[in-house]
């Protein structure tokens, strides 16, 4: 049995936060943000809108596009670093509840911006092992709730949103996900970190005063490792599978910063019409960024059955991953 990528859906919250809005909050400028990141706007969830609310909406669309009912799902995997609840229950359990799905495994994956590719790897492995037939994978984030809105070095980067996909069993090798590669190196753990409120620094007045429960990042150092790793990761997966970069229809990288994406695309010799770029509209939405970008080209009528997608992600941990995926929608 093989695993195939059957459908895509996404949800984007309606509130738009522009660079000019951010100029009113921190010492920054539209010019600086645009030049250093390529980001112009990001979408922000409502106060009472949770990560699972957004994930559920994306999941419903993915189900509808696969012509499936929630009951057809036999596993739910949600990648997120901004779960509804701190420790439990998982966001996947909340999505299962909202979809009305019971008695199937539901679990979260914590792999930061690489989360969607980790979820894809998990779905593929369960299907190939004969342990699942239709897996709902989700990348959903309410990063606005874990961003320090007084820190100009991070708050300009992130946004909210969700994407979801159905990965199904197939006997047709032509439809099969070709390869998924995931990896990590914990020696970089403190480059991108929420230092407080875990067991290392449990929640206390001091932790809250130091704003240690929010995202902290060594931006410049992260940038360098990201470019190097995203490039070598893709070179490796293409070489391993004997695929040339010209054969890729859509290169869909994690949307962190247009300078990172340009550097990777140039190193790989990919043309502009192969590279999917949504970072200017949505900013960095972590695990949601790849499925949101994929949904964008799907809704624009550019993603067609049989197109070969190359996914590539890098994030806190550090974690990274890449995947070669024919679209079977």
Please report whether residue 322 would count as binding ligand COA according to CB under 6 A.
no
Peptide bond into 318 cis (omega under 30): yes
Site string for ligand COA, 157-196 (x = CB under 6 A): ----------------------------------------
Residues of this chain, 86-125, that bind ligand COA according to CB under 6 A: 113
How many C-beta atoms lie closer than 10 Å to residue 47's C-beta?
Answer: 8
Q: How far is the CB of 208 from ligand COA (least distance, A)?
A: 24
Q: How far is the CB of 146 from ligand COA (least distance, A)?
A: 13
CA distance 232 to 270: 14
Q: How far is the CB of 115 from ligand COA (least distance, A)?
A: 11
19 is catalytic: no
Q: Could you tell me how many residues of this chain bind ligand COA (CB under 6 A)?
A: 20
- Which tokens sit at 281? 């509209």
Q: Which position among 254, 257, 295, 328 bears the catalytic label? A: 254
Cβ contacts of 113 within 8 Å, gap of 6 or more? 254, 256, 284, 286, 287, 289, 313, 314, 315, 316, 319
* Residue choice 134, 181, 222, 322 for contact with ligand COA (CB under 6 A): 222
Residues of this chain, 280-309, that bind ligand COA according to CB under 6 A: 284
Cβ contacts of 123 within 8 Å, gap of 6 or more? 3, 75, 77, 132, 135, 137, 167
- Terminal CA-to-CA distance of the chain, rounded, Å? 18
On the CB side of 48, CA atoms within 13 Å amount to 0
Q: Which position among 93, 113, 155, 328 bears the catalytic label? A: 113
| Nearer to ligand COA among residue 201 and residue 218 (C-beta) | 218
Stretch touching ligand COA by CB under 6 A, among 98-106, 121-129, 219-227, 296-304: 219-227
Cβ contacts of 284 within 8 Å, gap of 6 or more? 39, 113, 143, 157, 158, 159, 254, 255, 256, 257
Site string for ligand COA, 22-41 (x = CB under 6 A): ------x---x---xx----
Give the residue closest to ligand COA by C-beta: 219
Residue ranges binding ligand COA (CB under 6 A) = 28, 32, 36-37, 113, 152-153, 156, 217, 219-220, 222-223, 226, 256-257, 260, 284, 314-315
Catalytic residue numbers read 113, 254, 284
């Amino acid at each position: 049995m093989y695993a195939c990528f059957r459908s895509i859906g996404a949800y984007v919250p309606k509130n738009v936060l522009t660079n000019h809005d951010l100029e009113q909050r921190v010492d920054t400028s539209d010019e600086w943000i645009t030049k250093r990141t390529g980001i112009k706007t990001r979408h922000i969830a409502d106060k009472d809108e949770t990560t699972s609310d957004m994930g559920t909406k994306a999941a419903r669309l993915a189900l509808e596009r696969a012509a499936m009912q929630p009951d057809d799902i036999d596993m739910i995997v949600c990648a997120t670093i901004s779960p509804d609840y701190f420790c439990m229950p998982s966001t996947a359990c909340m999505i299962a509840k909202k979809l009305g799905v019971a008695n199937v495994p539901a679990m979260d994956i914590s792999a930061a911006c690489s989360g969607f590719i980790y979820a894809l790897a998990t779905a593929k492995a369960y299907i190939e092992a004969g342990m699942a037939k239709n897996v709902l994978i989700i990348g959903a984030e309410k990063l606005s709730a874990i961003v320090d809105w007084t820190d100009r070095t991070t708050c300009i980067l992130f946004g909210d949103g969700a994407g979801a996909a159905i990965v199904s069993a197939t006997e047709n090798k032509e439809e099969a996900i070709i390869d998924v590669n995931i990896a990590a190196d914990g020696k970089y753990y403190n480059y991108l970190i929420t230092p407080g409120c875990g067991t290392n620094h449990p929640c206390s007045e001091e932790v809250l005063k130091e704003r240690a429960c929010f995202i902290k990042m060594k931006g410049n150092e992260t940038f360098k490792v990201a470019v190097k790793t995203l490039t070598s990761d893709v070179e490796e997966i293409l070489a391993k599978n004997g695929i040339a970069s010209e054969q890729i229809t859509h290169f869909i990288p994690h949307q962190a910063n247009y300078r990172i994406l340009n550097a990777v695309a140039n190193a790989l010799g990919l043309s502009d019409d192969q590279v999917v770029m949504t970072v200017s509209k949505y900013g960095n939405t972590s695990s949601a960024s790849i499925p949101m970008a994929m949904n964008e080209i799907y809704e624009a009528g550019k993603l067609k059955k049989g197109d070969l997608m190359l996914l590539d992600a890098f994030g806190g941990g550090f974690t990274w991953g890449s995947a070669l995926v024919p679209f079977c929608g």
